[in-house]
Amino acid sequence: MKEDIILAGVGGQGILSIATVIGNAAVKQDLNLKQAEVHGMSQRGGDVQSHLRLSTGPISSDLIPKGAGDLIVSLEPLEALRYLQWLSPDGWIITNVTPFVNIPHYPGQDAILAELRKTGRVIALDADAIAREAGSPRSSNMALLGATAAVLDILDADKLRDGIRAVFARKGEAIVQANIKAFDAGLEFARKSHE
């Protein structure tokens, strides 16, 4: 079993935190893991993406071939659109609907979402609102990760919660619980919309 995931967003949104949580969970579940990152973090708002390859068997490369991605997980809808060529025909897109407008002439949100929905397998959520409702506005990335857990076959949701605990433990129990609450709210949203 294997899953190839592209994480996408812009600097400061928490893409690398999602990658760290998934990586931690994969290691705890004895999976093979390869990761490659490309980011413009020296400039907040720059393009950030990470390729994560998880497998029960050997993994040859840390980069996902075009057309082979199982999931595109994006904290920003235009960034999900940017990586469509990596998505396999039966892959999933999990995207936040809240735009991060960092370029002139940013396309309309409806047009972006319509293009994404042409793939047929999209969970679009307002991760920012879900995180706010969960009491942790800065945890939209964990709400998005929760939504991803609804279609992520290779990792168990409990292992992802353990990953959240491990990654955020140094910030205190209140931060850990806020992130888990956002994760659970995103997971519940995706399960309801996926049914």
Terminal C-alpha separation, the chain: 24
156: helix, strand or coil: coil
| Whole-number pLDDT of residue 99 | 79
Q: How far apart are CA 146 and CA 127, in angstroms?
A: 10
- % of the chain exceeding 90 in pLDDT: 68
Mean pLDDT computed over every residue of the chain: 90
Q: Which residues contact 101 (CB under 8 A, 6 or more apart)?
A: none
Residue 160 has pLDDT above 60, yes or no: yes
Sign of the CA dihedral 173, 175, 176, 178?
Answer: positive
Contact 50, 75 (CB under 8 A): no
Residue 168 pLDDT > 90, yes or no?
A: yes
Quickly state the pLDDT bin for 178 (edges 50, 70, 90): very high
Q: What is the pLDDT of residues 107-153, one digit of tens each?
A: 788 888 898 999 889 999 999 999 999 988 899 999 999 999 999 99
HSE toward the beta carbon, residue 109, CA cutoff 13 A? 11
Q: pLDDT tens digit string along 51-110?
A: 999 999 999 888 999 999 999 999 999 889 989 999 999 999 999 998 777 777 877 888
Give the span between the Cα atoms of 112 and 124, in whole angstroms.
Answer: 11
Residues 9-27: tens digit of each pLDDT: 877 777 889 999 999 999 9
Q: How confident is the model at residue 42 (pLDDT cuts 50, 70, 90)?
A: very low
